[in-house]
């Protein structure tokens, strides 16, 4: 499969997912927190949004590549390292879904799934003898070719928008 086709598919999916998430966020179709009489949940909710913004940065592919780059290993090994790191970061923060809107959590989950899909598709397009440097380079090329910006930036904007609504 040609890199241009992979890039186009990924770009279209990213645009559709982000459009859906942002549209739902702007229409106010978020679930309201359960009312409580003696417990103030706003600080916990703001902290959850803060942690999810950090998560989006930690699982962004450019950030992962710069943090986990290991020259001299194979593309298959790097694919495994990237995928496992994304899953671990996501799992570590999965309890934050209790405090954020469904739109926000869906955006984070879509980012995780999209990043794993990109890593797998790019790795599949490379020869078996490819190095981690080749994989990293191709992933960054795919990310740079996204016309509407990187998905992790759109997710971060959605989370920021939701958090700012809480502070009003």
The predicted pLDDT at position 164 comes to 92
User: Is residue 33 in a domain?
Assistant: no
**For residue 138, what pLDDT is reported?**
96
The pLDDT of residue 21: 65
pTM assigned to the model: 0.76
Residue 34 lies in a domain: no
- In this prediction, the residues of the chain whose per-residue pLDDT falls under 70 are 1-39
Q: Is residue 54 one of the residues assigned to a domain?
A: yes
Q: How many domains does the chain have?
A: 1
User: How far apart are the C-alpha atoms of 46 and 163, rounded to whole Å?
Assistant: 6
CA separation for the pair 155, 84 (Å, rounded): 21
> What is the average pLDDT score of the chain?
86
On whether residue 102 sits in a domain, the answer given is yes
Residue 37 lies in a domain: no
**Residue 105: inside a domain:** yes
* Interior/surface letters 54-93, b for 16+ CB within 10 angstroms, e for the rest: ebbbbbbbeebbeeeeeeeebbeebbebbbebbeebbeeb
- Asked whether residue 155 is domain-assigned, the answer is yes
Short-list 112, 156, 138, 164, CA closest to 1 = 138
Residue found by looking up tokens 């001299």 in the block: 72
Model pLDDT, residue 61: 95
Quote the pLDDT of residue 148: 74
Distance between CA atoms of 120 and 118, rounded to whole angstroms? 5
Domain span at 9:
3-26+42-167
- What confidence score (pLDDT) does residue 135 get? 97
């Amino acid at each position: 499969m040609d890199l241009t086709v992979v890039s186009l598919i990924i770009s279209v999916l990213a645009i559709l997912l982000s459009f859906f998430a942002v549209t739902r966020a702007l229409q106010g179709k978020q679930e309201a927190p359960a009312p409580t009489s003696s417990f103030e949940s706003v600080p916990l909710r703001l902290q959850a949004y803060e942690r999810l913004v950090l998560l989006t940065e930690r699982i962004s592919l450019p950030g992962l590549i710069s943090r986990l780059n290991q020259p001299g290993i194979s593309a298959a090994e790097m694919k495994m390292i990237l995928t496992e790191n994304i899953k671990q970061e996501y799992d570590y923060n999965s309890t934050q879904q209790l405090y954020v809107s469904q739109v926000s959590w869906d955006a984070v989950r879509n980012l995780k799934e999209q990043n794993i899909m990109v890593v797998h598709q790019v790795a599949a397009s490379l020869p078996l003898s490819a190095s981690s440097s080749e994989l990293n380079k191709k992933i960054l090329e795919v990310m740079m070719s996204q016309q509407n910006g990187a998905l992790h930036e759109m997710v971060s904007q959605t989370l920021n928008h939701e958090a700012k609504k809480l502070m009003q």
